[in-house]
């Protein structure tokens, strides 16, 4: 799913109006109808509802919602914020239609008119839409502040008022919605953690915009969904053998952190690699052979840490390094030597990233199209601080281009930046995965897909999606609180089966 700017979405509306053909007022009616259906399905009809409307098209949506709710017998009050102008044409049409109903209509001309809500009322924010380009001020800002402090549940239509769709809104006065009902596609601001307190639970409602528009528009960002995962997935051939799916190598573990190596290795095999060699310190030999007999084990000369990898398998075509290796000087020397010898893309995670961050001269030696998988703090250590997440996205894309690597910035909506300047947000995963070991599993998954001859960007996009999807299955089975990293691996099969079924 493409993530469009506010301007691109506005043009999509215009394209639909011209090519369906359909009137803008009818498109507004469709949006209102979808919102009312959502409210009905969640039994909001039983509650008192107050809709705050501006005089733009977002306010027009609110007026149409009020009329449709009234027709269903709901108790609805509309409060219109006066801006000193008549409002848009579609707003005026819906206002005239509303006068034909029994909806209580109030006009807010000063702060004295704010108090139109009961203690149990649901507030619907239809003040300002996604075209906003400056912070709220004056009476509008005071009204939003009042709504936030009232203690009532708030639903936002299109976007919480005060939130910019495409740029940083930190420091602005913004509606704090429990749910945001938006239309057709995600807005960039919905995918960033800094906005989670404003957007709440986002629902994207299909209002029937003409899909042909998307064939002629270029989007910088894309949401990785089932459709894209299915396009990337490569079914296995009936005439294949273990060599068909590559020989992966994972370099991981140290004394006390062999769990990271076991998790990464098991994930690599469960994700489909044909062969796996794990290079570990000597202390992990019995652990690895016991817990993962399917893996081949190569021990370091050092018993507690990894100091050097002298003999990579001759047909090694994918390498993952970092989980649990520590940051000793000997391990740093190993990373430095490895970057000088192995010229295929490498998956680098955890302490591998910390070594790069402490020795930034090594970044230029990372093979092209390698995959770096930092969490936010590792990203900061690698590339420096950002004042907000929009700046962080730009930095990730810049570094991906400069290093000719793929940067996976892990989080709720994990962001994947490619050297071509494209950014992908992942749509799977949940808070149950916020536990030690989840990143080690991702390293194994990515290394496995590289071994199976996926292009690095494909391995990154598909791997992150499947990793999150397995986490969703695990959380559904175990609860978010109880999921262990090993539970996620155990649901890799469910994730693969899901996208295969969807692609049939």
So where are the chain's domains?
A: 2-219, 226-232+243-503
What average pLDDT does the segment 78-99 reach? Answer: 93
Q: Tens digits of per-residue pLDDT, 413-456?
A: 999 999 999 999 999 999 999 999 999 999 999 999 999 999 99
Query: What's the pLDDT tens digit per position in 8-60?
Result: 999 999 999 999 989 999 999 999 999 999 999 999 999 999 999 999 999 99
**DSSP per-residue codes, 232-295:** H--PPPTT--GGGG-EEEEE---TT-HHHHHHHHHHHHHTT-SEEEEEE-GGGHHHHHHH-TTS
Predicted local confidence at residue 85, as pLDDT: 82
Residue 235 and residue 409: Cα distance in Å, rounded?
Answer: 28
pLDDT at 118 over 80: yes
Q: Is the pLDDT of residue 372 over 50?
A: yes
Angle at 360 between CA 354 and CA 366, to 5 degrees: 85
* Fold assignment, 2-219: Rossmann fold (3.40.50)
What's the N-to-C CA distance of the chain in angstroms? 20
Of all residues in the chain, the percent with pLDDT exceeding 70 is: 99
Query: Band of the pLDDT at 504, cuts 50, 70, 90?
Result: very low
pLDDT at 503 > cutoff 60: no
State pLDDT tens for residues 451-474. 999 999 999 999 999 999 999 999
pLDDT tens, residue by residue, 251-280 = 999 999 999 999 999 999 999 999 999 999
Q: Please report the DSSP string for 55-98 in residue order.
A: SSHHHHHHHHHHHHHHHTT--EEEEEEP-SS---HHHHHHHHHH
Per-residue pLDDT tens for 125-176? 999 999 999 999 999 999 999 999 999 999 999 999 999 999 999 999 999 9
Quick one: pLDDT at residue 253? Answer: 98
Q: Helix or strand or coil: residue 438?
A: helix
Give the mean pLDDT of the chain: 96
Q: What is the pTM of this model?
A: 0.95
Same fold, 2-219 and 226-232+243-503: no
* pLDDT average, residue stretch 195-216: 97
pLDDT at 314: 85
For 21-48, b/e burial (b = at least 16 CB within 10 A) is: ebebbebbbbbbebbbeebeeeebeeeb
Give the confidence band of 315 by pLDDT, cuts at 50, 70, 90.
confident
Are 445 and 268 in contact by the 8 Å Cβ rule? The answer is yes
**Of all residues in the chain, what percent carry a pLDDT higher than 90?**
95
Give the pLDDT band of residue 86 (cuts 50, 70, 90): confident
Q: How many residues does the chain have?
A: 504
* Domain spanning 226-232+243-503, CATH architecture: 3-Layer(aba) Sandwich (3.40)
Output the six-digit token pair for 341: 């010898």
Backbone Cα Rg of the chain: 26
Alpha helices in 158-222 (DSSP H): 196-199
Which tokens hold the place of 158? 């299109």
pLDDT of residue 502: 60
What would the pLDDT profile of 175-195 be if each residue is shown by its tens digit? 999 999 999 999 999 999 999
Burial of 435 (0-12, 13-18, 19+ CB in 10 A): middle
pLDDT at 299 over 60: yes
Q: What is the mean pLDDT of residues 358-373?
A: 97
């Amino acid at each position: 799913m493409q993530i469009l700017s506010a301007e691109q979405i506005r043009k999509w509306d215009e394209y639909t109006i011209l090519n369906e053909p359909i009137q803008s007022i009818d498109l507004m009616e469709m949006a209102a109808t979808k919102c009312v259906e959502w409210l009905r399905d969640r039994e909001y009809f039983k509650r008192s509802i107050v809709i705050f409307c501006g005089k733009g098209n977002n306010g027009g949506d609110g007026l149409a919602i009020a009329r449709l709710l009234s027709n269903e017998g709901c108790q609805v009050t509309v409060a219109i914020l006066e801006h000193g102008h008549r409002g848009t044409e579609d707003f005026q049409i819906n206002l005239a239609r509303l006068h034909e109903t029994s909806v209580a209509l109030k006009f807010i001309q000063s702060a004295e008119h704010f108090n139109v809500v009961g203690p149990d009322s649901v507030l619907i924010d239809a003040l300002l839409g996604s075209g906003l380009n400056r912070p709220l001020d004056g009476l509008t800002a005071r009204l939003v502040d009042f709504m936030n402090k009232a203690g009532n549940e708030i639903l936002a239509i299109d976007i919480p008022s005060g939130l910019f769709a495409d740029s940083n809104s930190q420091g602005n006065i913004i509606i704090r919605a429990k749910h945001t009902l938006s239309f057709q596609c995600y807005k960039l601001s919905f995918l960033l953690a800094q906005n989670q307190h404003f957007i709440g639970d986002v629902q994207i409602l299909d209002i029937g915009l003409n899909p042909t528009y998307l064939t002629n528009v270029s989007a910088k960002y894309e949401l990785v969904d089932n459709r894209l995962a299915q396009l990337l997935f490569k079914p296995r051939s009936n005439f294949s053998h273990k060599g068909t799916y590559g020989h992966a190598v994972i370099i991981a573990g140290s004394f006390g952190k062999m769990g990271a190596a076991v998790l990464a290795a098991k994930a690599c095999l469960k994700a489909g690699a044909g062969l796996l060699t794990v290079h570990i310190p000597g202390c992990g030999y019995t652990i690895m052979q016991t817990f993962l007999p399917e893996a081949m084990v190569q021990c370091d000369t050092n018993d507690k840490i990894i100091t050097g990898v002298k003999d990579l398998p001759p047909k090694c075509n994918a390498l993952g390094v970092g989980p649990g290796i520590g940051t000793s000087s000997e391990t740093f020397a190993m990373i430095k030597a490895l970057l000088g010898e192995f010229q295929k893309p490498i998956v680098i995670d955890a302490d591998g990233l910390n070594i790069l961050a402490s020795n930034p001269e090594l970044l230029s030696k990372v093979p092209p199209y390698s995959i770096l998988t930092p969490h936010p703090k590792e990203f900061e250590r690698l590339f420096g601080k950002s004042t907000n997440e929009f700046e962080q996205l730009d930095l990730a894309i810049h570094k991906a281009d400069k290093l000719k690597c793929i940067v996976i910035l892990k989080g709720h909506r994990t962001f994947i930046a490619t050297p071509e300047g494209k950014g992908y947000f992942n749509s799977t995963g949940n808070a149950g995965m916020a536990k030690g070991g989840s990143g080690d599993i991702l390293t194994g998954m990515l290394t496995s897909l590289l071994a199976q001859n996926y292009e690095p960007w494909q391995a990154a996009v598909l791997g992150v999606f499947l990793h999150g999807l397995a986490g969703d299955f695990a959380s559904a089975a175990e609860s978010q609180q109880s999921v262990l990293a090993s539970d996620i691996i155990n649901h890799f099969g469910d994730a693969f089966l899901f996208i295969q079924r969807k692609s049939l």
